[in-house]
Structures are given as structure tokens and as C-alpha cells.
Chain A
Amino acid sequence: EVQLVQSGADVKNPGESLRISCKGSGYSFPRYWISWVRQVPGRGLEWMGRIDPDDSDTNYSPSFQGHVTMSTDKSITTAYLQWSSLKASDTAIYYCARHATTAVGTHFDFWGQGTVVTVSS
């Protein structure tokens, strides 16, 4: 059974750093891209970018480029989303999602349960 299990909720102060995780299981982790999707409470889905776990190639949305960093560790089948300096506007639910194929044009066939990030002083 394919599963994406994300790390738990976190509360941070503005300016702090944070790394959240997404552990894949039940499939060959390097073979499928992983995307991260943001959802501000009460709002829609925003694509942040994707990473190829096989070679760590990334493609960021212009809206998030330079503010977050995506990475993976194939040895523990885990993808990461990292901030070096959080802002209050980063408060949201963050989902990881698996691409159905490693090709542009594909859809997301499995999603993590979401990680709630709260940034508040």
C-alpha cells in the first residue's frame, strides 16, 4: 500500500527555521516525483514545487522560489521542505503529493495527511 506520512504539526516564531518531512512507503521512492502543496486555512491549493527523488532535481513555483528548499534522502525514502526564516504568512497546511508518473502533465495520485505549520510570535 502506497503511503506518504508527514511529520507532525509545528509552532514557530517568525524568523525561525523549520524542516518538515514526508516519508514514502509501499513503492519505489526514487521513481516518482514529489510535490509540495500549500493550503492557507479556508483557501485553495497552491503548488510550491516538485523534486525528483532520484537525482534531487527541483522545479520551484516562482511564488516560492528562494523562500523554501526541497530535498530528499533516498536512503530513508523521505522528502523534506525547509524554511530558513519563517514569516507569519507561512502559516498553512503543507501537503506532499506523489506524481503518478515522472513526466510533466501528470496528476497527483497519493497525498500525505498534511502538516500544520503555525508561525506566530
Chain B
Amino acid sequence: DTAVSQTPKYLVTQMGNDKSIKCEQNLGHDTMYWYKQDSKKFLKIMFSYNNKELIINETVPNRFSPKSPDKAHLNLHINSLELGDSAVYFCASSPTSGWYNEQFFGPGTRLTVL
């Protein structure tokens, strides 16, 4: 199936640990994104990559480090996890970097930090 996929779907971990979330899209898109959805469902952009190049970094703590090995993959590594990092993280992709293009979202990764 053509889609945006994320692994894992659920991630439960202790404060202070380091974890990664992986994202892959097989839609042939050039641009990928990470969004964070908090407990009140509010969604906010974290990062955007276009052809493996970082385009947007929205006031995110430097404990969060995205990595794009190729344009089909955008992974998110989080160091020294904190309670406030608990959220649902969504990966998305779009055909080009154009502002008029819809973004296709993955199913989300629910991160719980204990």
C-alpha cells in the first residue's frame, strides 16, 4: 500500500531515556514533516525536510534531532526524555514544498514518558 508509515505505534519509556521514531513514505514525495499533538489535540509543526535538507525547525528543544537518510525517510530521535514529551507524534509528507499541496499523515506514534 502506498502510504506514510511510522514505527512504533506506541512507545512507553522512562524519563531520561533516549528513543527514536521512524517514518517512511512511499508516495515519492519530496518534503516530510514532524508534528506534535498534545493531550488537548493541539497540533504543531516541529520540523520539515525537503530532499533531505532541513527547512523548518520550530523552537524545538535540541534534545529532538531529526535525521533524513534519504527523501523517503525522516526519523526523530529524542534524548533525555521528559514527562512533557508525552504526546502523539505524526509524520507527514507532501509532493513538493508548495504551500498549496496537501500533506499526507502517518498513523501517529503515541509516546508516553513515565
- Asked if A pairs with B, the answer is no
